[in-house]
Amino acid sequence: MISPLAYIDPEAKIGENCEIGAFAYIDKNVIIGDNNTIMPHAILLSGTRMGNNNRIFHGAVIGGIPQDLKFVGEETTAEIGNNNTIRENVTINRGTASKGKTVVKDNNLLMEGCHVAHDSEVGSGCIIGNSTKIAGEVVIADNAILSANVLVHQFSQIAGYGMVQGGCRLNKDIPPYIIVGREPARYSGINIVGLRRRGFSNEAITNIHNAYRLLYNSGYNVSDAVKHIKEEIPQCPEVDSIINFIENVSTRGIIG
């Protein structure tokens, strides 16, 4: 299942039942697990760590050195979990001394031409659209969807269960459960279809809607809106996660 035309460094560690196509390149200091498919012309460079059941399509490059002038050759990794689909020409750079690793967790779809820069983290169950570019030290939580051609500023935080419209430029943090769109990018409602598909109850969706009504449509500033959310919306895990994101996770301020 390994093409004789593939290059695999003798120091690379390859698990069982892996399929490696012609002209694929597997560098030294690469470790991949079982049942992975590495298609022709895919490149896994030094520092790549990969779990099981991933599909890496043609021309993808994983583990390239960071596009960061502070990088001086330190030992870092690009870590890919399980059950990911990484389509053509995706690039995932390894980390720098800042965090030491770039991480893509489990069950993600990274579409053609997207880029994940150094020290970023993509959670599980995410979809990253064609040609979307994720700058360094970005954190994307589980079950987030970024459509095509989205540009994400470095250090941004994108919470889970939301959706970002294609072509958006993000320079603020994105709280959970919402749709972001328009130009300039801003809050465009809650991701009600996605929440229903994920099994959120009607009560939870109502609480999320009412929390964002206070945050975005009441005329309150952010701190006053959070105070009113705490006082007026029934306590539940979904509302707690909104409050926690605003108070403890966001570093760049939330999108307007």
For residue 77, what are the β-bridge partners? 101
Which active-site residues does the annotation give? 118-119, 136
* Cα 236 from Cα 229, distance rounded (Å): 11
| Secondary structure, 3-state, the chain | CECCCCEECCCCEECCCCEECCCCEECCCCEECCCCEECCCCEECCCEEECCCCEECCCCEEEECCCCCCCCCCCCEEEECCCCEECCCCEEECCCCCCCEEEECCCCEECCCCEECCCCEECCCCEECCCCEECCCCEECCCCEECCCCEECCCCEECCCCEECCCCEECCEECCCEEEECCCCEEEEECHHHHHHCCCCHHHHHHHHHHHHHHHCCCCCHHHHHHHHHHHCCCCHHHHHHHHHHHHHCCCCECC
Sign of CA dihedral 148, 200, 139, 44: negative
* Cα 2 from Cα 5, distance rounded (Å): 8
Amino acid identity of residue 143, one-letter, is N
